[in-house]
Copies of this chain bind each other. A is one copy, B any other.
């Protein structure tokens, strides 16, 4: 590839290559006006920095590692797009590693990302991670760590989450407002905070509306289509007059929906349904699935902003203050998405 070099830019502006190089690397000895001119000229000449050389100089790679449980879950893909958008605008590239929900792969992911000298790691914790040693190791290595969605407060890392309790409360209250009275909940693994938060939101919404909380209408699942089918079958078999389900996430809701369809049960007439997560398939199933949106694109953008702040702290040598001050935690509002599965009178 024949490329524009800093010599071409220097020639164009009648200045020295070293001035160009300093300007492109934001050296303090160059004025803001000169930097602007040189950067614009570089852009006009379609100049791309030799990243490796640049990284050797700066000690940075301008790469962020993102560790997600699974790219099969549309929510994580949408967060990644949110991160990408702002990361690229700030000159960062991102590399993805998926843990496939296991602690073993997550440990390998952390090692792989550290090995490739990423400037920082943005992570969401796998369902089956038995301990957090690998994340403590990231912190020990002083590599900025930001958590999103599935976080652990004890890691003391900045994080961005959606208000899961509130989302569950909204979902349950929506079913109540639609006239459903025997509302069941299919929950997820309780050692993960967000799933416990959703359970609490469900319970409190019932209580606040003076409705009984019936243990027989709560089923603990494993966040999968299969688990949703199985849980729906179990709930129905208890003959409690269940007329609606709030499912902990959309894959679980989809499994329940499939089971009811197979059994000839009409939705939303006989049983109403709402999920959580606004997965990509949710608008396209029949009936289309009501759900809670977690603003994943914004979550990604906020996570990247937290990473930039952590980088700035690291550069200023002030990251130790994290030990005395609480790390920043951004809590996004959930958004109720009403579709056919939860509305008694279905609109066209």
Contacts and interface: CB of A to CB of B under 8 A. Distances in A.
A223 to B, nearest CB: 15
Contacts of A137: 1
Contacts of A41: none
B84 A109 contact: no
Interface stretch (A8-16, A110-118, A151-159, A191-199): A110-118
Contact of A95 (B1, B61, B71, B96): B96
A255 to B, nearest CB: 10
B77 A72 contact: yes
Nearest to A109: B93
A215 interface: no
Contact of A80 (B71, B285, B286): B71
B115 A52 contact: yes
Interface string A74-109: 100100110010001000011111101000010011
A209 to B, nearest CB: 32
Contacts of A254: 284
A344 B200 CA distance: 47
A77 B98 CA distance: 10
A139 to B, nearest CB: 12
Contacts of A115: 51-52, 55, 61, 63
A190 B55 CA distance: 40
A258 interface: yes
Q: Which of A80, A84, A115, A134 neighbours the largest number of chain B CB atoms within 10 Å of its CB?
A: A115
A320 interface: no
Given A1-B133, A88-B105, 19 more contacts: A1-B136, A52-B114, A61-B115, A63-B112, A71-B71, A71-B80, A84-B100, A93-B97, A93-B108, A93-B111, A93-B112, A95-B116, A96-B96, A96-B98, A254-B284, A258-B284, A285-B285, A285-B286, A286-B286
A34 interface: no
A280 interface: yes
